[in-house]
Amino acid sequence: MTLFERLYDESEKVNVQFVGMTTDHSRYDFGIVYTSLFFGKPLINCLQSGKCLLLGREDVEDLDMIKSSFQVTDDTEALALSEFLKSVLPPLGMEAQY
Question: Of the given ranges (74-78, 81-85, 89-93), which has the lowest mean pLDDT?
Answer: 89-93
Q: What percent of the chain has pLDDT over 70?
A: 92
Q: What was the pLDDT predicted at 77?
A: 93
Sheet with 15-22: strands ordered across: 15-22, 27-34, 43-46, 52-54
Q: Is residue 59 part of a domain?
A: yes
Domain range for 53 is 15-93
Q: Is residue 49 part of a domain?
A: yes
Q: What was the pLDDT predicted at 92?
A: 60
Task: Give the span between the Cα atoms of 93 and 56, in whole angstroms.
Answer: 8
Q: Is residue 8 part of a domain?
A: no
Question: How far, CA to CA in Å, does 14 sit from each of 59, 61, 65, 70, 95?
Answer: 21, 25, 26, 24, 13
Q: Is residue 2 part of a domain?
A: no
Q: Is residue 9 part of a domain?
A: no
Tell me, yes or no, if the pTM score tops 0.85.
no
* Tally of domains within the chain: 1
Q: Provide mean pLDDT across the span 33-61.
A: 90
Q: Is residue 6 part of a domain?
A: no
Would you mind telling me the total number of residues written for the chain in this entry?
98
Q: Is residue 5 part of a domain?
A: no
Q: Is residue 4 part of a domain?
A: no
Q: What was the pLDDT predicted at 96?
A: 41
Half-sphere CA count of 25, side-chain side, radius 13 A: 10
